[in-house]
């Protein structure tokens, strides 16, 4: 069943204050078959250099899409991602956590780095041109759309987007999608089992 995510912006607050807004929201879940996902991306990393899925060969990748002005879904997801890494302990060294922005107009590499560091310094933020982000989202079956309300400052828009976390294996293949709000201990347990079989 598919449901849309509605992440309304809180323009009057600094983006880190959004981490306090952890209320439950509608989200998208997909019953995804591995063959339906093309786990490929080419984006820009924290240092302004190109980063692709090939850069993490040999490691698992835990990926989510969102944006820094998101008031609830994204902070909640990154809290869960950070907790998953913590629960994995030393095993987390074999997992690269990634936050891909769907808001290239506002999310610069530097802003993403500050944002992801707030949750866990092991999470890296990736952005890019609108075309590169569209390509990555299309490959992962992620839907997103800029929403500007009538009579609203166009700079204070929201971005509706799909929620959840995607897990890629050490060879870069898509393994599964964790639905939004999957408990961190459940994700850590499942990832640990996979780590010990690869």
- For the stretch 99-119, pLDDT in tens is 999 999 999 999 999 999 999
Average pLDDT over residues 161-178: 96
Q: Quote the mean pLDDT of the chain.
A: 85
Domain residue spans in the chain?
34-195
For residue 9, what are the β-bridge partners? none
Residue 121: per-residue pLDDT: 97
Residue 16: per-residue pLDDT: 37
Residue 153: per-residue pLDDT: 73
For residue 126, what are the β-bridge partners? 100
pLDDT greater than 70 at residue 148: yes
Decide: 39 and 53 in contact? Cβ < 8 Å: yes
pLDDT greater than 60 at residue 65: yes
Decide: 39 and 55 in contact? Cβ < 8 Å: no
Asked which of 34-48, 65-79, 162-176 is least confident by mean pLDDT, the reply is 34-48
Residue 112: per-residue pLDDT: 97
77-87 burial, b at 16+ Cβ within 10 Å, e below that, comes to bbebbbbbbeb
- Phi, psi of 8, deg, nearest 5: -80, 140
Residues 6-39 pLDDT 10s: 443 333 333 333 333 333 333 333 344 556 899 9
Q: Are strands 165-168 and 174-178 parallel, antiparallel or unpaired?
A: antiparallel
Q: What percent of the chain has pLDDT over 70?
A: 82
CATH code for the structural domain at 34-195:
3.40.30.10
pLDDT greater than 80 at residue 85: yes
- Phi, psi of 101, deg, nearest 5: -75, 140
Tokens of 141: 């079956």
Average pLDDT over residues 122-141: 97
Residue 34: per-residue pLDDT: 52
Write the burial class of residue 163 (CB in 10 Å: 0-12 exposed, 13-18 middle, 19+ buried). buried
User: Quick one: CA torsion of 57, 194, 189, 112, rounded to 10 degrees?
Assistant: 10
């Amino acid at each position: 069943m598919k449901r849309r995510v509605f992440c309304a912006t809180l323009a009057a607050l600094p983006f880190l204050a959004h981490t306090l807004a952890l209320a439950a929201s509608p989200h998208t879940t997909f019953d995804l078959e591995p063959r339906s996902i093309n786990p490929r991306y080419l984006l820009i990393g924290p240092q302004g250099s190109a980063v692709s899925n090939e850069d993490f060969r040999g490691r698992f990748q835990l990926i989510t899409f969102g944006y820094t002005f998101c008031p609830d879904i994204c902070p909640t997801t990154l809290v869960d991602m950070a907790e998953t890494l913590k629960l994995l302990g030393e095993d987390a060294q074999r997992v690269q956590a990634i936050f891909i922005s769907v808001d290239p107009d506002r999310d610069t590499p530097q802003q993403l780095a500050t944002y992801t560091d707030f949750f866990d310094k092991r999470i890296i933020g990736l952005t890019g041109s609108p075309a590169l982000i569209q390509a990555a989202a299309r490959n992962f079956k992620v839907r997103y759309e800029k929403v500007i309300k009538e009579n609203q400052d166009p700079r204070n828009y929201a971005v509706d987007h799909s929620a959840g976390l995607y897990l890629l294996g050490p060879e870069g293949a898509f393994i599964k999608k964790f639905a939004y709000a999957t408990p961190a201990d459940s994700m850590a347990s499942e990832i640990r089992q996979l780590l010990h079989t690869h």
